[in-house]
């Protein structure tokens, strides 16, 4: 990873959250494009639940993005909360799946930069509200 990403964890977290919104919208499109009866027997919930989860995640990440842009102290906490909730949901729904490690690594990167952002902002008293 280039040095400039770790030099500004707030900017990196903001970019990761924005990318996550795009990924959740793509997930909704993929779930909508697939026939509903294909996945019902394989996973624990139907495609409607997966689409709703992705939509809720995109909405909450949009709120998080707004908070990050406005330098709100709750935004990194919300990023961690949403990310952990998504991984728990995915683990329940999609276990066992060979694709689970890919979003897990993505989630760990978000959590890492959220914690790094919290530490950096606490150190410099950067947060407003």
Q: Where are the domains of the chain?
A: 3-124
pLDDT tens for 5-33 read: 557 899 999 999 999 999 999 988 988 88
Amino acid 122: pLDDT = 63
Amino acid 120: pLDDT = 81
pLDDT tens for 45-57 read: 677 777 888 899 9
pTM of the model: 0.81
Amino acid 53: pLDDT = 86
Closest CA to 128 of 15, 10, 25, 42: 10
């Amino acid at each position: 990873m280039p040095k400039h990403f770790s030099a500004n964890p707030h900017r990196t977290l903001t970019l990761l959250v924005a990318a996550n919104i795009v990924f959740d919208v793509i997930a909704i499109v993929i779930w909508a494009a697939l026939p509903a009866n294909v996945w019902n027997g394989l996973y624990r919930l139907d495609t409607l639940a997966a689409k709703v989860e992705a939509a809720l995640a995109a909405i909450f990440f949009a709120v998080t993005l707004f908070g990050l842009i406005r330098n709100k102290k709750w935004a990194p906490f919300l990023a961690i909360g949403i990310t952990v909730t998504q991984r728990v949901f995915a683990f329940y729904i999609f276990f066992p799946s060979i694709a689970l490690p890919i979003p897990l690594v993505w989630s760990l990167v978000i959590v890492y930069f959220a914690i790094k952002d919290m530490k950096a902002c606490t150190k410099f008293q950067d947060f407003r509200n």
